[in-house]
Amino acid sequence: MARLRARSLLVTVSALVLAGGCTAPVSAQNRPSTSQTVAGPAPVAAEQGAPPPTAPRPATVALSMPPVPVARLWPFKRLYNGDYVDVKAIAERYGLKATWISSGRILQLADAQGRGRLRFEDRRHDFLLDGVRVFMGSPTASHEGSLWVGKIDVVKTIAPLLRPAEHAGQLPAPPRLIVLDAGHGGNDPGLQNGVLHLNEKDLALDVVLRLKKLLEARGYQVLLTRTDDRKIELETRAGLANEAKADLFVSVHFNGAGATVTGTETYVLTPQLQVSTQPEQDKSMVRVAYPGNRRDFANVVLGYHLQHAVLAGLQTSDRGFKRYRYAVLRFAECPAALVESAYLSNDAEARRIATPEFRQRIAQAIADGISDYTATLAAIHPAASLPVELHAPAATSK
């Protein structure tokens, strides 16, 4: 917990599940006409570790989610063709003080010490939590002298990050068996920087091999989806983690965009019925509950810690903690995240990536994020056995 306190991170889970397959309906006689309520999640069992042989390719199917008992309720209203929760209700629930930074446009929630924990801005898809950009499925809306955020965003993002302990039943025990996935491979080079002759597949594998050593030094058991330059189907990568009954799955990549874009992004699976940060071309995906959605609450805690730690370790610009229905995330039955630590398409950033020292820093930062996630779960499940070391040991040699 020392590392967690040093980073001033308190992430814990609060209640709710969305409409449709994940929502406990409010009884008709208690449902108000303009203001409604949404309920919290049901317990999910923690996973155990075991070594993997080969993994079958999972089928793409819609899952019916388990029934959800009524937990603590959030009031919400129907606004702009969606269900929204007042930001001031969030402040009241968590003992925070709501203050306008810019009247009618930017609303900040501060703790008792006056620290601005959250900052929301009208019509934006992202908000700041302890300085980290966190993306939502719906933009913030102005209504009745306050700002309002989407119900699903409160349920599946804001509440889990502010009060995980309230939803201990939805969060697993601290991870022991981790599967690391180096993106691309074989005849799929991933992103390429032609100026510097760099392939994403090679750099991702190098980072994963370094990360494996760091995590093993901290007491985790680590398996890799690939240890050399070979192609593995996307769904099979998550299938390997499922076959191993892994506690955690992390896929390592490098990003690409315009030549001037730099920074760090972290992705977890988009919750059912929520729009992804970059909407998928297949609109029907929004309605599907994928296997990975059973870990929505753990995913958000994991993704936030990874984004926070990589930003701190690399001192890169914050491109945001985001959501997308990547194949490697859809089919993972354990908490899973995809880290895009830097942009290979930016020559200046690519020159840093090309150095062993920077790739070691990437591995160190991801390991720190995993340790922070582990510490959060350990605080929620104190009786669970832990890896040997929660604090980050000294960086290993290149």
pLDDT of residue 391: 45
In a domain, 66, yes or no: no
CB 156 within 8 A of CB 162: no
> Of 140, 165, 190, which marks where a domain is finished?
165
Q: Are residues 154 and 30 in the same domain?
A: yes
Selection from 248, 260, 233 nearest residue 345 by Cα: 260
Selection from 385, 369, 165 nearest residue 268 by Cα: 369
Q: Are residues 233 and 326 in the same domain?
A: yes
Spatial CB neighbours of 194, under 8 Å, sequence gap ≥ 6: none
Q: Are residues 216 and 332 in the same domain?
A: yes
Selection from 135, 285, 256 nearest residue 184 by Cα: 256
Q: Are residues 184 and 304 in the same domain?
A: yes
CB 331 within 8 A of CB 233: no
Per-residue pLDDT band for 15 (boundaries 50, 70, 90) equals very low
CB 369 within 8 A of CB 305: yes
Strand order in the sheet with 264-268: 97-102, 106-110, 116-121, 126-129, 132-135, 318-323, 264-268, 336-343, 248-255, 177-182, 221-224
What pTM did the predictor assign? 0.81
Q: Helix (H, G, I), strand (E, B), or coil: what is residue 167? A: helix
Phi-psi region for residue 282, left (φ > 0), alpha (ψ -120 to 50) or beta? beta
**Dihedral (CA of 89, 90, 95, 101) sign:** negative
pLDDT of residue 16: 31
The alpha carbons of the chain give a radius of gyration, in whole angstroms, of: 20
Per-residue pLDDT band for 386 (boundaries 50, 70, 90) equals confident
Q: Are residues 14 and 88 in the same domain?
A: yes
Percent of the chain having pLDDT more than 70? 79
> What letter represents residue 203's amino acid?
L
**pLDDT tens-digit readout, 101-144:** 999 999 999 999 999 999 999 999 999 999 999 999 999 999 99
CATH code at position 111: 3.30.457.10
For residues 369-373, average pLDDT:
98
In a domain, 94, yes or no: yes
Residue 215 has pLDDT above 80, yes or no: yes
**pLDDT tens-digit readout, 17-67:** 333 323 332 233 333 333 343 333 333 333 333 333 333 333 333 333 443
pLDDT of residue 384: 81
> CB pairs under 8 A, 24+ apart, for 381-388?
381/46, 381/168, 381/171, 381/173, 381/174, 384/46, 384/173, 384/174, 385/173, 385/174, 385/176, 386/174, 386/219, 387/174, 387/175, 387/176, 387/218, 387/219, 387/220, 388/218, 388/219
Between 365 and 388, the more confident residue is: 365
In a domain, 58, yes or no: no
Q: Are residues 271 and 148 in the same domain?
A: no
- C-alpha 395/C-alpha 214 separation (Å) is 8
Q: Are residues 268 and 351 in the same domain?
A: yes
- Measured from the Cβ of residue 163, the count of other Cβ atoms closer than 10 Å reads 18
Q: Are residues 236 and 365 in the same domain?
A: yes
Number of folded domains that form the chain: 2
Q: Are residues 25 and 133 in the same domain?
A: yes
Q: Are residues 33 and 128 in the same domain?
A: yes
Provide the residue count of the chain.
398
> Of 117, 145, 165, which marks where a domain is finished?
165
**pLDDT tens-digit readout, 156-205:** 999 999 999 998 999 999 999 999 999 999 999 999 999 999 999 999 99
> Of 132, 165, 198, which marks where a domain is finished?
165
CATH code at position 337: 3.40.630.40
Percent of the chain having pLDDT more than 90? 76
CB 48 within 8 A of CB 248: no
Give me the phi and psi of 339, to 5 degrees please.
Answer: -110, 125
For residues 374-383, average pLDDT:
95
pLDDT of residue 257: 96
Per-residue pLDDT band for 73 (boundaries 50, 70, 90) equals confident
Q: Are residues 114 and 195 in the same domain?
A: no
Average pLDDT, the chain: 84
Between 30 and 228, the more confident residue is: 228
Q: How far is CA 343 from the centre of its chain?
A: 19
**Tokens 């908490």 — which residue?**
335
CB 306 within 8 A of CB 362: no
In a domain, 61, yes or no: no
Q: Are residues 246 and 119 in the same domain?
A: no
In a domain, 218, yes or no: yes
The domain of 143 spans: 10-41+71-165
